[in-house]
């Protein structure tokens, strides 16, 4: 039996997946894929339609699929761009829809700092490009220089070009006249500031604010005092019982004393 795994929407971190679920936004995280891998090493088919996303999450999914002992068939059904194109390279066999595309480009990020930070970031990005190029080289047989050049140029490959260059092994529905799938490249990841804001709100428990007038508060306080008197026990008696005892003592008539008083000792 073949297990089908869907990779749709932006590639995100597992920690952020609940936020996308909350907004009913389609997205894929490493946990989605890893938890779907069969325990019996049976064959899997991975359907990809994603504009990409986080490099680290894409790398984690790629590595999990490459390490899977069973057969891995990748179907590029719409778009496999950026980090999603790295995932596509994990297939033992990669099939692409005649209307689909694969897009490869350089790694990007945003950084704030002086010229030293910018220079360092340039080195980091080039190293990341070099690392990701290994996945394309391993699948296609192209040289790393050829792959890096295509990444520099932000290369889009249609089905024929993908097969010709080795990014895919065959075209889906090759014997059918009418393709059934369409492409989608839109990267609809939620902005990080939105994710941070929602996460902060989720972690905060809002305090309940109750406003009451003195007239509304009075019976509530009286009821609380009545319950306390009826339930609180002091020296074996409730407060109500002590109150009744003190009241009865006060009502007792005082004993008669001698007109001249008593002796002093």
Residue range 161-206, pLDDT digits in tens: 999 999 999 999 876 554 444 444 555 677 777 787 788 777 776 6
Instruction: Report helix, strand or coil for 42.
Output: coil
Q: Could you give the CA distance from residue 36 to residue 20 in angstroms, rounded to a whole number? A: 19
Residue range 54-99, pLDDT digits in tens: 999 999 999 999 999 999 999 999 999 999 999 999 999 999 999 9
Task: Enumerate the domain spans of the chain.
Answer: 3-203, 214-251
Residue 248 in tokens = 């009865």
CA angle 2, 37, 54 (to 5 degrees): 120
Verdict on whether the full-model pTM lies above 0.85: no
Pick the CATH number of 3-203 from 3.20.20.70, 3.30.300.30, 3.90.226.10, 3.40.50.620: 3.90.226.10
Please state the rounded mean pLDDT for residues 109-120. Answer: 86
Residues 53, 80 contacting (CB under 8 angstroms): no
């Amino acid at each position: 039996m073949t297990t089908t795994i869907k990779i749709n929407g932006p590639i995100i971190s597992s920690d952020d997946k609940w936020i996308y679920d909350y907004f009913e936004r389609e997205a894929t995280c490493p946990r989605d894929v890893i938890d779907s891998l069969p325990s019996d090493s049976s064959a899997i088919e991975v359907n990809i339609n994603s504009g990409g996303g986080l490099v680290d999450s894409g790398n984690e999914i790629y590595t999990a699929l490459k390490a899977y002992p069973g057969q891995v068939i990748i179907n590029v059904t719409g778009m496999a761009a950026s980090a999603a194109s790295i995932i596509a390279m994990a297939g033992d066999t990669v099939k692409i829809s005649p209307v689909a595309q694969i897009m490869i480009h350089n790694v990007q990020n945003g950084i704030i700092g002086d010229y030293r930070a910018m220079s360092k970031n340039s080195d980091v990005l080039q190293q990341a490009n070099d690392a990701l190029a290994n996945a394309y080289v391993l699948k296609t047989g192209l040289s790393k220089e050829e792959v890096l050049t295509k990444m520099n140029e932000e290369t889009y490959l249609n089905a024929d070009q993908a097969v010709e260059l080795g990014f895919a092994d065959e075209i889906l529905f090759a014997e059918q006249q009418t393709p059934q799938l369409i492409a989608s490249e839109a990267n609809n990841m939620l902005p990080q500031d939105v994710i941070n804001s929602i996460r902060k709100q989720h972690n905060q428990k809002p305090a309940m604010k109750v406003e009451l007038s003195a007239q509304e508060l009075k019976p509530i306080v009286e009821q609380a005092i009545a319950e306390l008197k009826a339930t609180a026990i002091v020296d074996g008696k409730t407060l109500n019982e002590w109150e009744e005892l003190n009241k009865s003592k006060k009502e007792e008539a005082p004993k008669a004393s001698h007109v001249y008083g008593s002796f002093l000792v």
